[in-house]
């Protein structure tokens, strides 16, 4: 159960890790001060990573507007569903928009099968 998280949360974690990776790459670049070309490569890669995270954050914003808002039956907080099945962002309660899938075991493959 715990291996699943809400999709929006997962993308957000990914974007955040991109920022950290970007800073780490730029930091590594500082060790190549005597090799300006290497340093420049690391700086550019780090910068691109941070740009990518900005793009991902932007995509989260787009996805959030498309996600369906529901009140979680378990914790009564307003959460968002992406795709057919998703999880509550707060208590990880599996949620579905498809009545046929109600009561079935949570399975991410329902999002892909058509």
Nearest to Zn ion of 44, 71 (CB atom): 71
Residue 88 found at the interface with Zn ion (CB under 5 A): yes
Q: How far is the CB of 75 from Zn ion (least distance, A)?
A: 3
- Strand-pairing partners, residue 96, are 85
Among 31, 91, 104, 108, binds Zn ion (CB under 5 A): 91
Residue 90 found at the interface with Zn ion (CB under 5 A): yes
Residue 43: C-alpha distances to residues 14, 34, 53, 55, 99 (Å)? 20, 14, 15, 18, 50
Q: How far is the CB of 36 from Zn ion (least distance, A)?
A: 52
Please give the torsion angle defined by the CA atoms of residues 92, 94, 95 and 99, in that order, rounded to the nearest 10 degrees. Answer: -170
Alpha-carbon distance 107 to 111, whole Å? Answer: 8
Q: How far is the CB of 70 from Zn ion (least distance, A)?
A: 10
Own/partner long-range contacts of 91-97 (Cβ < 8 Å, ≥24 apart): 92/1, 92/2, 92/4, 92/5, 92/6, 94/4, 95/70, 97/68
Site for Zn ion in 59-78 (CB under 5 A): 72, 74-75
Residue 93 found at the interface with Zn ion (CB under 5 A): yes
Number of residues interacting with Zn ion: please give it, by CB under 5 A. Answer: 7
Q: How far is the CB of 15 from Zn ion (least distance, A)?
A: 23
Residues that bind Zn ion (CB under 5 A): 72, 74-75, 88, 90-91, 93
């Amino acid at each position: 159960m715990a291996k699943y998280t809400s999709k929006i949360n997962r993308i957000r974690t990914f974007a955040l890790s991109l920022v950290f990776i970007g800073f780490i790459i730029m930091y590594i670049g500082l060790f190549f001060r005597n090799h300006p070309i290497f340093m420049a490569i690391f700086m550019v890669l780090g910068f691109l990573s941070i740009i990518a995270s900005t793009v991902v954050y932007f995509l989260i914003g787009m996805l959030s507007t498309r996600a369906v808002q529901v009140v979680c039956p378990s914790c009564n907080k307003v959460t968002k569903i992406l795709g057919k099945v998703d999880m509550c962002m707060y208590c990880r309660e599996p949620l579905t928009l498809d009545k046929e899938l109600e009561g079935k075991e949570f399975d991410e493959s329902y999002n892909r099968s058509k």
